[in-house]
């Protein structure tokens, strides 16, 4: 397990304010999904997992942070598990809905598609590289290139929604983000 990542994320979740409301894409699209098996990748403190559980989803909530996973342990319909995505493989054909927000590991793109059941949805939102970003990861490896997310899913999925846009965070900092909803063919 990447111990440095675990320590960093544990510290962040314990010492910084984290948004607790789901992003609009999740509230707009999650209620429309036919099945009720969901995966929340890099779930953090579980804002999306909690919302999905409130809709009746059976949610696998995965994160490297033991501090984050611990807060989700006793919540009905949430199966929280500490994982390192450098070595964890997603279950093939297992999910009706997969959510991934503000986490980028390109090697997971094919796994996400494989983990979706036919007709399942992937909701993905994260940062896009732009030289004027005010608040995004400093390591360019953790930033999408323009249109990269759409290209990664186009072959095996129908893109239901895609937008790259400027957005403000809780502190008013502007950053370029990509938002996508893709349905597996």
HSE, side-chain direction, 13 A CA sphere, residue 4: 0
**Residues 148-160 pLDDT 10s:** 999 999 999 999 9
Distance of alpha carbon 159 from alpha carbon 151, whole angstroms: 10
Average pLDDT, the chain: 92
**Residues 117-139 pLDDT 10s:** 999 999 999 999 999 999 888 88
Give, in order, the Cα–Cα distances in Å from 66 to each of 57, 62, 139, 169: 23, 10, 23, 25
Question: What pLDDT score does 8 carry?
Answer: 62
**Residues 57-102 pLDDT 10s:** 999 999 999 999 999 999 999 999 999 999 999 999 999 999 999 9
Among 26-35, 102-111, 117-126, 166-175, name the one with the lowest average pLDDT.
166-175
What total of structural domains would you count in the chain? Answer: 1
Percent of the chain beyond pLDDT 70? 91
The residue-averaged pLDDT of 97-118 equals 97
Q: Residues of 82-113 as b/e, b for ≥16 C-beta within 10 angstroms?
A: bbebeeeebeeeebbbbbbbbbbeeebbebbb
CATH number at residue 59: 3.40.50.150
**Residues 4-33 pLDDT 10s:** 765 665 666 666 656 689 999 999 999 999
Question: How many other C-beta atoms can be found within 10 angstroms of the C-beta atom of residue 158?
Answer: 12
> Which has more pLDDT, 42 or 2?
42
Q: Domain residues for 26?
A: 3-184
Distance of alpha carbon 30 from alpha carbon 15, whole angstroms: 30
Question: Model confidence at 163, in pLDDT bands (50, 70, 90)?
Answer: very high
């Amino acid at each position: 397990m990447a111990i440095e990542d675990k320590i960093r994320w544990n510290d962040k979740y314990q010492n910084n304010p984290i948004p607790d409301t789901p992003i609009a894409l999740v509230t707009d699209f999650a209620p429309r999904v036919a099945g009720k098996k969901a995966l929340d990748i890099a779930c953090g403190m579980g804002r999306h997992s909690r919302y999905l559980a409130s809709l009746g989803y059976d949610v696998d909530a995965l994160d490297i942070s033991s501090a984050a996973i611990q807060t989700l342990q006793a919540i009905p319909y949430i199966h929280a598990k500490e994982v390192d995505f450098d070595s964890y493989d997603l279950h093939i054909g297992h999910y009706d809905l997969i959510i991934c927000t503000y986490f980028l590991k390109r090697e997971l793109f094919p796994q996400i598609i494989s983990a979706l059941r036919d007709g399942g949805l992937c909701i993905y939102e994260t940062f896009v590289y732009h030289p004027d970003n005010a608040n995004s990861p400093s390591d360019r490896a953790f930033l999408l290139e323009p249109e990269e997310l759409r290209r990664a899913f186009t072959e095996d999925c129908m893109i239901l929604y895609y937008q790259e846009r400027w957005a403000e965070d809780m502190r008013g900092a502007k950053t370029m983000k990509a938002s996508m909803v893709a349905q597996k063919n």
